[in-house]
Chains A and B, each alone.
Chain A
Amino acid sequence: MRMARTSLRAAVLLLLGAMPAAAHTGNLSGGFLGGFAHPLFGPDHVVAMVAVGLWGAFLGPPPMFILPIVFPLVMAIGGVLGILAVPLPAAELAIAASAIVLGLMVASAARPPLWVAATIVAAFAIFHGYAHGAELPAGTDAAAYSIGFVTATGLLHLAGIALGLTVRWPVGRIGVRGTGAAIAGAGVVFLWRLA
Protein backbone atom coordinates (compact mmCIF):
# COMPACT_ATOMS: atom_id res chain seq x y z
CA MET A 1 0.00 0.00 0.00
CA ARG A 2 2.82 2.39 0.96
CA MET A 3 4.64 1.48 -2.27
CA ALA A 4 1.55 2.20 -4.38
CA ARG A 5 1.08 5.56 -2.66
CA THR A 6 4.71 6.51 -3.28
CA SER A 7 4.38 5.55 -6.93
CA LEU A 8 1.24 7.65 -7.25
CA ARG A 9 3.00 10.63 -5.67
CA ALA A 10 5.94 10.22 -8.02
CA ALA A 11 3.59 10.00 -11.01
CA VAL A 12 1.79 13.17 -9.91
CA LEU A 13 5.08 15.01 -9.47
CA LEU A 14 6.25 13.96 -12.94
CA LEU A 15 2.99 15.07 -14.52
CA LEU A 16 3.15 18.43 -12.79
CA GLY A 17 6.61 18.96 -14.21
CA ALA A 18 5.45 18.31 -17.79
CA MET A 19 6.76 20.66 -20.48
CA PRO A 20 4.87 21.61 -23.66
CA ALA A 21 5.84 19.90 -26.90
CA ALA A 22 6.74 22.16 -29.81
CA ALA A 23 7.11 21.36 -33.51
CA HIS A 24 10.40 23.15 -34.31
CA THR A 25 12.01 24.23 -31.14
CA GLY A 26 14.75 26.36 -32.67
CA ASN A 27 16.71 24.73 -29.88
CA LEU A 28 19.99 26.59 -29.67
CA SER A 29 21.36 24.54 -26.79
CA GLY A 30 20.97 20.93 -27.93
CA GLY A 31 21.45 21.40 -31.68
CA PHE A 32 24.01 24.19 -31.47
CA LEU A 33 26.08 22.58 -28.75
CA GLY A 34 25.94 19.20 -30.49
CA GLY A 35 27.18 20.77 -33.73
CA PHE A 36 29.73 22.92 -31.90
CA ALA A 37 31.16 19.89 -30.11
CA HIS A 38 31.34 17.75 -33.24
CA PRO A 39 34.61 19.13 -34.71
CA LEU A 40 36.10 19.60 -31.24
CA PHE A 41 35.80 15.91 -30.37
CA GLY A 42 37.40 14.70 -33.59
CA PRO A 43 41.17 15.03 -33.20
CA ASP A 44 41.70 14.64 -36.96
CA HIS A 45 39.43 17.66 -37.55
CA VAL A 46 40.96 19.71 -34.74
CA VAL A 47 44.58 19.38 -35.86
CA ALA A 48 43.75 20.06 -39.52
CA MET A 49 41.72 23.19 -38.66
CA VAL A 50 44.43 24.55 -36.38
CA ALA A 51 47.00 23.81 -39.11
CA VAL A 52 45.00 25.93 -41.58
CA GLY A 53 45.27 28.87 -39.19
CA LEU A 54 48.95 28.26 -38.44
CA TRP A 55 49.81 28.05 -42.13
CA GLY A 56 47.97 31.31 -42.72
CA ALA A 57 50.31 32.95 -40.21
CA PHE A 58 53.30 32.16 -42.46
CA LEU A 59 51.46 33.60 -45.46
CA GLY A 60 50.98 36.90 -43.58
CA PRO A 61 48.06 39.33 -43.75
CA PRO A 62 45.75 39.63 -45.64
CA PRO A 63 46.18 36.13 -47.22
CA MET A 64 46.28 34.81 -43.65
CA PHE A 65 42.54 35.44 -43.43
CA ILE A 66 41.67 34.20 -46.92
CA LEU A 67 42.14 30.54 -45.99
CA PRO A 68 39.55 30.69 -43.15
CA ILE A 69 37.13 32.29 -45.65
CA VAL A 70 37.75 29.68 -48.36
CA PHE A 71 37.54 26.71 -46.02
CA PRO A 72 33.90 27.07 -44.78
CA LEU A 73 32.62 27.98 -48.25
CA VAL A 74 34.12 24.86 -49.82
CA MET A 75 33.40 22.75 -46.73
CA ALA A 76 29.70 23.46 -47.33
CA ILE A 77 29.99 21.78 -50.75
CA GLY A 78 31.43 18.70 -49.06
CA GLY A 79 28.67 18.91 -46.45
CA VAL A 80 26.06 18.90 -49.23
CA LEU A 81 27.60 15.73 -50.68
CA GLY A 82 27.60 14.14 -47.22
CA ILE A 83 23.97 15.05 -46.46
CA LEU A 84 22.88 13.72 -49.86
CA ALA A 85 24.90 10.53 -49.18
CA VAL A 86 26.82 10.91 -52.43
CA PRO A 87 29.64 8.35 -52.25
CA LEU A 88 33.01 10.04 -51.78
CA PRO A 89 35.79 7.46 -51.79
CA ALA A 90 38.51 7.50 -49.15
CA ALA A 91 37.09 10.45 -47.23
CA GLU A 92 38.65 9.34 -43.93
CA LEU A 93 41.99 8.75 -45.64
CA ALA A 94 41.86 12.24 -47.14
CA ILE A 95 41.09 13.74 -43.72
CA ALA A 96 44.11 11.97 -42.23
CA ALA A 97 46.20 13.08 -45.22
CA SER A 98 45.06 16.67 -44.67
CA ALA A 99 46.73 16.66 -41.25
CA ILE A 100 49.97 15.36 -42.80
CA VAL A 101 50.03 17.80 -45.74
CA LEU A 102 48.94 20.88 -43.77
CA GLY A 103 51.26 19.95 -40.90
CA LEU A 104 54.20 19.64 -43.29
CA MET A 105 53.32 23.02 -44.83
CA VAL A 106 53.48 24.61 -41.37
CA ALA A 107 56.63 22.69 -40.37
CA SER A 108 58.44 23.79 -43.53
CA ALA A 109 57.07 27.36 -43.26
CA ALA A 110 55.96 27.00 -46.89
CA ARG A 111 54.90 30.22 -48.59
CA PRO A 112 53.37 29.19 -51.92
CA PRO A 113 51.25 31.62 -53.99
CA LEU A 114 47.88 32.26 -52.36
CA TRP A 115 45.95 30.40 -55.04
CA VAL A 116 48.03 27.25 -54.45
CA ALA A 117 47.46 27.42 -50.68
CA ALA A 118 43.76 28.11 -51.20
CA THR A 119 43.44 25.17 -53.62
CA ILE A 120 45.12 22.76 -51.19
CA VAL A 121 42.94 23.92 -48.29
CA ALA A 122 39.78 23.82 -50.45
CA ALA A 123 40.50 20.28 -51.62
CA PHE A 124 40.73 19.04 -48.03
CA ALA A 125 37.76 21.14 -46.93
CA ILE A 126 35.50 19.04 -49.16
CA PHE A 127 36.42 15.89 -47.23
CA HIS A 128 36.05 17.51 -43.82
CA GLY A 129 32.66 18.93 -44.84
CA TYR A 130 31.63 15.55 -46.20
CA ALA A 131 32.34 13.89 -42.85
CA HIS A 132 30.34 16.54 -40.97
CA GLY A 133 27.41 16.32 -43.42
CA ALA A 134 27.33 12.53 -43.42
CA GLU A 135 27.37 12.43 -39.61
CA LEU A 136 24.53 14.95 -39.16
CA PRO A 137 22.43 13.12 -36.56
CA ALA A 138 18.80 12.51 -37.44
CA GLY A 139 16.25 14.32 -35.33
CA THR A 140 18.47 17.26 -34.37
CA ASP A 141 17.76 20.90 -35.18
CA ALA A 142 19.72 21.04 -38.46
CA ALA A 143 20.01 24.83 -38.45
CA ALA A 144 21.44 25.11 -34.96
CA TYR A 145 23.64 22.03 -35.50
CA SER A 146 25.10 23.37 -38.77
CA ILE A 147 25.69 26.82 -37.32
CA GLY A 148 27.37 25.14 -34.34
CA PHE A 149 29.82 23.08 -36.31
CA VAL A 150 30.64 25.83 -38.79
CA THR A 151 31.29 28.21 -35.87
CA ALA A 152 33.51 25.67 -34.09
CA THR A 153 35.45 25.06 -37.31
CA GLY A 154 35.94 28.79 -37.83
CA LEU A 155 37.02 29.31 -34.23
CA LEU A 156 39.61 26.54 -34.59
CA HIS A 157 41.02 28.42 -37.61
CA LEU A 158 41.13 31.62 -35.59
CA ALA A 159 42.83 29.77 -32.73
CA GLY A 160 45.45 28.58 -35.23
CA ILE A 161 45.94 32.13 -36.49
CA ALA A 162 46.26 33.42 -32.91
CA LEU A 163 48.93 30.80 -32.18
CA GLY A 164 50.57 31.54 -35.51
CA LEU A 165 50.94 35.23 -34.68
CA THR A 166 53.85 34.21 -32.43
CA VAL A 167 55.99 33.60 -35.56
CA ARG A 168 57.20 37.20 -35.30
CA TRP A 169 59.50 36.03 -32.46
CA PRO A 170 62.23 33.43 -33.10
CA VAL A 171 61.03 31.21 -30.27
CA GLY A 172 57.47 31.44 -31.54
CA ARG A 173 58.60 30.54 -35.04
CA ILE A 174 60.29 27.40 -33.73
CA GLY A 175 57.21 26.59 -31.64
CA VAL A 176 54.81 26.99 -34.56
CA ARG A 177 56.98 24.92 -36.90
CA GLY A 178 57.30 22.28 -34.18
CA THR A 179 53.50 22.27 -33.82
CA GLY A 180 53.26 21.75 -37.57
CA ALA A 181 55.60 18.75 -37.32
CA ALA A 182 53.51 17.36 -34.44
CA ILE A 183 50.33 17.79 -36.54
CA ALA A 184 51.94 15.94 -39.45
CA GLY A 185 52.96 13.18 -37.01
CA ALA A 186 49.39 12.99 -35.71
CA GLY A 187 48.24 12.66 -39.33
CA VAL A 188 50.54 9.65 -39.78
CA VAL A 189 49.01 8.08 -36.65
CA PHE A 190 45.46 8.70 -38.00
CA LEU A 191 46.48 7.11 -41.30
CA TRP A 192 48.09 4.15 -39.55
CA ARG A 193 44.95 3.55 -37.47
CA LEU A 194 42.84 3.51 -40.63
CA ALA A 195 45.08 0.96 -42.33
Chain B
Amino acid sequence: MRRLVGLVMALPVLLPEQASAHPAFAGATGFYGGLLHPLFVPTHAIAILSLGLLIGQQMPHWRWPIALAYAAGLGTGFAAMICAFPPRFSAEALLAATAVVAALVALARGLPWPTACVLALAVGTALALDSSPGGISVREANVIIVGTFCGAVILLWVTLEVATVFRREWQKLGVRILGSWMAASAVLVLTWQLAR
Protein backbone atom coordinates (compact mmCIF):
# COMPACT_ATOMS: atom_id res chain seq x y z
CA MET B 1 0.00 0.00 0.00
CA ARG B 2 2.75 2.42 1.02
CA ARG B 3 4.72 1.54 -2.11
CA LEU B 4 1.65 2.32 -4.22
CA VAL B 5 1.14 5.65 -2.45
CA GLY B 6 4.81 6.46 -2.93
CA LEU B 7 4.50 5.76 -6.66
CA VAL B 8 1.40 7.94 -6.97
CA MET B 9 3.16 10.76 -5.10
CA ALA B 10 6.17 10.50 -7.39
CA LEU B 11 4.06 10.76 -10.57
CA PRO B 12 3.44 14.53 -10.49
CA VAL B 13 7.14 15.09 -9.92
CA LEU B 14 7.89 13.06 -13.03
CA LEU B 15 5.49 15.13 -15.12
CA PRO B 16 6.84 18.67 -14.83
CA GLU B 17 5.45 21.40 -17.06
CA GLN B 18 7.75 23.71 -18.95
CA ALA B 19 8.49 27.09 -17.36
CA SER B 20 8.00 29.98 -19.74
CA ALA B 21 8.93 33.65 -19.51
CA HIS B 22 5.41 35.04 -19.66
CA PRO B 23 2.78 32.72 -21.09
CA ALA B 24 -0.35 34.24 -22.53
CA PHE B 25 -2.36 32.04 -20.20
CA ALA B 26 -2.34 28.44 -19.08
CA GLY B 27 -2.73 26.06 -21.99
CA ALA B 28 -1.92 28.61 -24.73
CA THR B 29 1.05 27.17 -26.58
CA GLY B 30 2.39 27.05 -30.12
CA PHE B 31 1.06 29.41 -32.77
CA TYR B 32 -2.02 30.41 -30.77
CA GLY B 33 0.07 30.99 -27.66
CA GLY B 34 2.24 33.36 -29.70
CA LEU B 35 -0.80 34.97 -31.31
CA LEU B 36 -2.32 35.78 -27.91
CA HIS B 37 0.99 36.73 -26.28
CA PRO B 38 0.84 40.49 -27.11
CA LEU B 39 -2.73 40.66 -25.87
CA PHE B 40 -2.14 39.03 -22.50
CA VAL B 41 1.20 40.55 -21.51
CA PRO B 42 0.15 43.93 -20.07
CA THR B 43 3.26 45.89 -21.08
CA HIS B 44 3.09 44.56 -24.64
CA ALA B 45 -0.61 45.27 -24.92
CA ILE B 46 -0.27 48.90 -23.82
CA ALA B 47 2.70 49.40 -26.16
CA ILE B 48 0.70 48.24 -29.17
CA LEU B 49 -2.51 50.00 -28.12
CA SER B 50 -0.72 53.31 -27.60
CA LEU B 51 0.99 53.09 -31.00
CA GLY B 52 -2.31 52.19 -32.67
CA LEU B 53 -4.05 55.10 -30.97
CA LEU B 54 -1.26 57.49 -32.00
CA ILE B 55 -1.49 56.49 -35.66
CA GLY B 56 -5.29 56.54 -35.70
CA GLN B 57 -5.44 59.84 -33.82
CA GLN B 58 -2.81 61.86 -35.65
CA MET B 59 -1.95 60.40 -39.02
CA PRO B 60 -4.49 57.90 -40.35
CA HIS B 61 -3.43 58.73 -43.92
CA TRP B 62 0.12 57.55 -43.16
CA ARG B 63 -0.94 54.32 -41.46
CA TRP B 64 0.60 52.06 -44.11
CA PRO B 65 4.22 53.30 -43.91
CA ILE B 66 4.08 53.53 -40.11
CA ALA B 67 2.59 50.05 -39.78
CA LEU B 68 5.25 48.74 -42.18
CA ALA B 69 7.97 50.36 -40.06
CA TYR B 70 6.46 48.63 -37.02
CA ALA B 71 6.35 45.27 -38.84
CA ALA B 72 9.95 45.82 -39.98
CA GLY B 73 10.92 46.46 -36.35
CA LEU B 74 9.20 43.27 -35.28
CA GLY B 75 10.96 41.36 -38.07
CA THR B 76 14.33 42.83 -37.14
CA GLY B 77 13.86 41.97 -33.47
CA PHE B 78 12.76 38.42 -34.18
CA ALA B 79 15.59 37.94 -36.70
CA ALA B 80 18.06 39.11 -34.06
CA MET B 81 16.53 36.67 -31.60
CA ILE B 82 16.77 33.78 -34.08
CA CYS B 83 20.44 34.71 -34.61
CA ALA B 84 20.87 34.26 -30.84
CA PHE B 85 21.35 37.99 -30.20
CA PRO B 86 21.07 38.30 -26.42
CA PRO B 87 18.33 40.86 -25.72
CA ARG B 88 19.33 43.26 -22.97
CA PHE B 89 17.10 45.97 -21.55
CA SER B 90 14.46 45.17 -24.17
CA ALA B 91 11.67 45.43 -21.58
CA GLU B 92 12.98 48.80 -20.41
CA ALA B 93 13.36 50.04 -24.02
CA LEU B 94 9.79 48.95 -24.78
CA LEU B 95 8.43 50.74 -21.71
CA ALA B 96 10.37 53.92 -22.53
CA ALA B 97 9.07 53.90 -26.10
CA THR B 98 5.54 53.22 -24.82
CA ALA B 99 5.76 56.14 -22.39
CA VAL B 100 6.79 58.49 -25.21
CA VAL B 101 4.14 57.23 -27.65
CA ALA B 102 1.34 57.26 -25.04
CA ALA B 103 2.33 60.74 -23.83
CA LEU B 104 2.12 61.94 -27.46
CA VAL B 105 -1.40 60.47 -27.61
CA ALA B 106 -2.34 62.33 -24.41
CA LEU B 107 -0.84 65.62 -25.61
CA ALA B 108 -2.42 65.23 -29.09
CA ARG B 109 0.18 67.44 -30.71
CA GLY B 110 0.83 67.01 -34.41
CA LEU B 111 3.72 64.65 -35.08
CA PRO B 112 5.61 64.37 -38.40
CA TRP B 113 4.99 60.95 -39.91
CA PRO B 114 8.72 60.09 -40.30
CA THR B 115 9.10 60.57 -36.53
CA ALA B 116 6.13 58.25 -36.02
CA CYS B 117 7.87 55.71 -38.29
CA VAL B 118 10.98 55.83 -36.11
CA LEU B 119 8.87 55.36 -32.97
CA ALA B 120 6.98 52.46 -34.59
CA LEU B 121 10.28 50.84 -35.56
CA ALA B 122 11.55 51.21 -31.99
CA VAL B 123 8.34 49.78 -30.48
CA GLY B 124 8.35 46.85 -32.91
CA THR B 125 12.00 45.98 -32.32
CA ALA B 126 11.78 46.22 -28.53
CA LEU B 127 8.52 44.25 -28.50
CA ALA B 128 10.05 41.43 -30.51
CA LEU B 129 13.20 41.30 -28.41
CA ASP B 130 11.07 41.18 -25.25
CA SER B 131 8.98 38.28 -26.59
CA SER B 132 11.44 35.44 -26.19
CA PRO B 133 9.45 32.24 -26.81
CA GLY B 134 9.29 29.62 -24.11
CA GLY B 135 9.42 26.71 -26.53
CA ILE B 136 11.78 23.84 -25.99
CA SER B 137 12.61 23.00 -29.60
CA VAL B 138 13.76 25.44 -32.29
CA ARG B 139 10.75 24.54 -34.44
CA GLU B 140 8.33 25.23 -31.60
CA ALA B 141 10.06 28.52 -30.81
CA ASN B 142 9.79 29.58 -34.47
CA VAL B 143 6.09 28.75 -34.54
CA ILE B 144 5.56 30.87 -31.41
CA ILE B 145 7.53 33.72 -33.02
CA VAL B 146 5.34 33.61 -36.15
CA GLY B 147 2.25 33.63 -33.92
CA THR B 148 3.53 36.59 -31.88
CA PHE B 149 4.34 38.51 -35.09
CA CYS B 150 0.82 37.94 -36.42
CA GLY B 151 -0.80 38.81 -33.06
CA ALA B 152 1.23 42.01 -32.69
CA VAL B 153 0.41 43.17 -36.24
CA ILE B 154 -3.30 42.31 -35.96
CA LEU B 155 -3.68 44.07 -32.60
CA LEU B 156 -2.00 47.22 -33.96
CA TRP B 157 -4.14 47.24 -37.09
CA VAL B 158 -7.40 46.74 -35.18
CA THR B 159 -6.49 49.49 -32.70
CA LEU B 160 -5.53 52.03 -35.35
CA GLU B 161 -8.63 51.31 -37.42
CA VAL B 162 -10.83 51.77 -34.34
CA ALA B 163 -8.98 54.98 -33.40
CA THR B 164 -9.40 56.26 -36.96
CA VAL B 165 -13.19 56.24 -36.70
CA PHE B 166 -13.10 58.26 -33.46
CA ARG B 167 -13.81 61.70 -34.92
CA ARG B 168 -16.25 63.19 -32.43
CA GLU B 169 -14.85 65.56 -29.85
CA TRP B 170 -15.67 63.37 -26.84
CA GLN B 171 -14.18 60.33 -28.59
CA LYS B 172 -10.94 62.22 -29.28
CA LEU B 173 -10.80 63.27 -25.62
CA GLY B 174 -11.43 59.67 -24.59
CA VAL B 175 -8.44 58.59 -26.67
CA ARG B 176 -6.31 61.27 -24.99
CA ILE B 177 -7.43 60.10 -21.54
CA LEU B 178 -6.52 56.51 -22.46
CA GLY B 179 -3.13 57.78 -23.65
CA SER B 180 -2.52 59.49 -20.31
CA TRP B 181 -3.38 56.29 -18.44
CA MET B 182 -1.01 54.22 -20.59
CA ALA B 183 1.80 56.79 -20.33
CA ALA B 184 1.47 56.86 -16.54
CA SER B 185 1.44 53.05 -16.36
CA ALA B 186 4.51 52.76 -18.60
CA VAL B 187 6.48 55.33 -16.60
CA LEU B 188 5.64 53.61 -13.30
CA VAL B 189 6.52 50.11 -14.53
CA LEU B 190 9.74 51.39 -16.12
CA THR B 191 10.78 53.03 -12.86
CA TRP B 192 9.92 49.88 -10.93
CA GLN B 193 11.98 47.75 -13.34
CA LEU B 194 15.00 50.08 -13.13
CA ALA B 195 14.77 50.42 -9.34
CA ARG B 196 14.49 46.68 -8.75
Contact = CB atoms under 8 A, between A and B. Distances in A.
Interface of A: 8, 11-12, 15-16, 18, 20-26, 28, 32, 61-62, 65, 68-73, 75-77, 79-80, 83-84, 129, 133, 136, 141-144, 146-147, 150-151, 154, 158
B12 A16 contact: yes
B162 interface: no
Nearest to A18: B12
B184 A26 contact: no
Contacts of A77: 187
A83 B183 contact: no
A81 to B, nearest CB: 9
B195 interface: yes
A26 B40 contact: yes
A85 to B, nearest CB: 8
Contact of B9 (A12, A26, A146): A12
B84 interface: no
B17 A146 contact: no
Contacts, number: 120
A99 B42 CA distance: 32
Contacts of B19: 20-23
A26 B23 contact: yes
A71 B183 CA distance: 11
A23 B22 contact: yes
B136 interface: no
Nearest to A65: B173
Nearest to A64: B173
Contacts of B41: 26
A68 B9 CA distance: 55
A150 B23 CA distance: 24
B16 interface: yes
A146 B40 contact: no
B12 A75 contact: no
A10 to B, nearest CB: 11
Nearest to B176: A69
Contact of A22 (B23, B40, B176): B23
A69 B180 contact: yes
The 4 A-B pairs with the shortest beta carbon distances in the complex, nearest first, are A20-B17, A76-B184, A72-B184, A76-B187
A62 B173 contact: yes
Contacts of A18: 12
Contacts of B46: 147
A194 B111 CA distance: 47
A141 B2 CA distance: 41
Given A22-B19, A25-B22, A69-B106, 4 more contacts: A8-B5, A15-B12, A69-B176, A146-B192
Given A15-B9, A18-B12, A143 B177 contact: no
User: Which of B18, B20, B177 has most A Cβ within 10 Å?
Assistant: B177
Contact of B183 (A26, A62, A72, A144): A72
A143 B9 contact: no
A142 B5 CA distance: 41
